[in-house]
């Protein structure tokens, strides 16, 4: 397995919010730079002073990366601009498009972890060590995708420091489980053929053409197509992913960037949320929830005090969907953006997102073992099992109630009837 060398001078601690950048840049869905989630009004950020966290189970998304499917749109935009270089130089442009006269350079390796992503993970490792100084482990597990492996290693450098050389790095392919709780979709044939893009495509077909027309008016004489416009929209977050700034972000209004965010949300809700056909998402997420309960309750009598695991945005969204923690009362609609929505990947799975489960006990404040979810630095209320005013105040619930609320997941098994039906497998 390849593990990258770390240049610590390149990984100086950085703030969670990018200096001098608009709040809009926090709202770029799953391709947002990392930022802490907003605190929920009325829910305490900290536990009572008499409580002690005795177990932590973390699932971390990889850091900022280069584009995947977005790459072709960005390259198409670059080609259009290169072909119109002479026209651009002789055409008056508004201030936010003046950068085109010097030419727009795009240099980003697709899918790879960027230096911004490395820094995100290193910083998170340091912050995690400061938050949980008394917990440790000697094993780190990740998805086998290289950007995730790299992310696990940079986090470990921040968390373990020089002791990283004593850590065992494993991927899910090294494990014996027939379904990986980090990448369960790999075991479900239907997931690979599932096409959740229809709603997102409908939304894009509605909001992108007017932006293309606007760009055509601002840069006359150039045929800026709808696909070129998509490339410009995608260039905003992926420039941020590679160098923390992008001239394209200032080209679009807040509303236009919100529409891009909603396109990604519709896509991810179809992939791993509540709009997934045949309930594939909640079924696959059950394997993580099942493993989580097994560890929290020490069901196998060998639970560790700390688990450090690394995956993808889908790795986090699937169990959230299974537990109903990010479910809207009405399904997301490709015809309009809801005024308020719970399923919001900008807050739940930006680049370098972290889902941290804490098991804790208290001398007086709570009776018996309790559970809390800290999602991207903010307490995420466990309303599915909260029973008391104290639960609601701290966003927590008892371990017993948590297990009871997620009983569905404990009864899901590989190749049982529900699995075979959802994944189109003949029993």
Across 392-406, average pLDDT: 98
Q: Which of 24, 150, 265, 313 is catalytic?
A: 313
Average pLDDT, the chain: 92
Superfamily of segment(s) 8-67+112-194+272-422: Phosphoglycerate mutase-like (3.40.50.1240)
Q: Which of 35, 60, 62, 194 is catalytic?
A: 62
398 and 405 Cβ atoms separated by less than 8 Å? no
Catalytic-residue membership of 312: no
CA distance readout (Å), 221 to 93, 208, 239: 12, 20, 26
Q: What is the pLDDT of residues 91-108, one digit of tens each?
A: 999 999 999 999 998 887
Which pLDDT score, from 0 to 100, does residue 189 have? 85
Across 11-27, average pLDDT: 54
Global pTM reads 0.93
Q: What is the pLDDT of residues 250-293, one digit of tens each?
A: 999 999 999 999 999 999 998 888 766 666 888 999 999 999 99
Catalytic-residue membership of 62: yes
Across 385-414, average pLDDT: 96
Q: What is the pLDDT of residues 289-325, one digit of tens each?
A: 999 999 999 999 999 999 999 999 999 999 999 999 9
Report the residue count for the chain: 427
Query: How many of the other CB atoms lie within 10 Å of CB of 11?
Result: 20
Query: How many of the other CB atoms lie within 10 Å of CB of 367?
Result: 9
C-alpha–C-alpha distance, residues 240 and 251, integer Å = 14
Strand partners, 56: 306, 358
Across 52-68, average pLDDT: 98
| Residue 273 DSSP label | S
Which pLDDT score, from 0 to 100, does residue 30 have? 97
> pLDDT at residue 421 above 70?
yes
> pLDDT at residue 403 above 90?
yes
User: Three-state SS across 346-391?
Assistant: HHHCCCCCEEEEEEEEECCCCCCCEEEEEECCEECCCCCCCCCHHH
Out of 162-176, 185-199, 369-383, 406-420, which region has the weakest mean confidence (pLDDT)?
Answer: 185-199
Which pLDDT score, from 0 to 100, does residue 116 have? 96
């Amino acid at each position: 397995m390849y593990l990258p060398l770390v240049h610590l001078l390149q990984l100086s601690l950085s703030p969670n919010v990018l200096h001098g950048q608009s709040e809009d840049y926090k709202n770029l869905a799953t391709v947002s730079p990392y930022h802490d989630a907003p605190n929920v009004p009325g829910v305490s950020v900290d536990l009572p002073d008499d409580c002690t966290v005795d177990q932590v189970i973390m699932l971390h998304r990889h850091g900022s990366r280069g584009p995947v499917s977005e790459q072709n749109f960005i390259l198409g935009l670059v080609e259009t601009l290169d072909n119109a270089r002479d026209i651009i130089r002789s055409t008056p442009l508004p201030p936010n498009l003046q950068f085109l006269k010097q030419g727009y350079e795009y240099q980003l390796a697709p899918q790879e972890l960027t230096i911004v992503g490395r820094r995100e993970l290193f910083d998170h490792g340091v912050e995690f060590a400061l938050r949980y100084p008394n917990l440790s482990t000697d094993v780190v597990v990740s998805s086998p995708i290289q950007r995730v492996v790299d992310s696990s290693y940079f986090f470990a450098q921040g968390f373990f420091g020089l002791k990283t050389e004593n850590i065992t790095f494993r991927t899910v392919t090294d494990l014996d489980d027939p379904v990986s709780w980090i990448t369960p979709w790999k075991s479900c044939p239907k997931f690979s053929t599932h096409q959740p893009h229809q709603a997102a495509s409908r939304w894009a077909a509605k909001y992108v053409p007017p932006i293309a027309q606007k760009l055509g008016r601002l840069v006359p004489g150039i045929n800026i197509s709808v696909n070129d416009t998509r490339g410009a929209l995608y260039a905003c977050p992926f420039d941020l992913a590679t160098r923390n700034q992008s001239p394209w972000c200032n080209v679009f209004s807040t509303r236009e960037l919100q529409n891009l965010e909603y396109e990604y949300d519709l896509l991810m809700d179809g992939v791993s949320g509540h709009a997934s056909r045949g309930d594939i998402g909640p079924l696959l997420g059950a394997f993580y929830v099942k493993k989580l309960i097994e560890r929290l309750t020490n069901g196998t009598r060998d639970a560790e005090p700390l688990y450090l695991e690394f995956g993808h945005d889908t790795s986090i969204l699937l169990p959230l969907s299974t537990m109903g923690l990010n479910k809207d009362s009405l399904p997301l609609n490709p015809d309009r953006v809801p005024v308020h929505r719970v399923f919001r990947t900008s807050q739940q799975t930006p680049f370098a997102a972290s889902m941290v489960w804490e098991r804790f006990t208290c001398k007086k404040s709570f009776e018996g073992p309790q559970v809390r979810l800290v999602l991207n630095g903010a307490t995420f209320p466990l309303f599915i099992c909260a029973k008391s005013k104290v639960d609601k105040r701290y966003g927590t619930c008892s371990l017993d109630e948590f297990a009871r609320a997620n009983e569905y997941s404990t009864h899901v098994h590989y190749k049982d009837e529900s699995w075979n039906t959802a994944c189109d497998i003949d029993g």
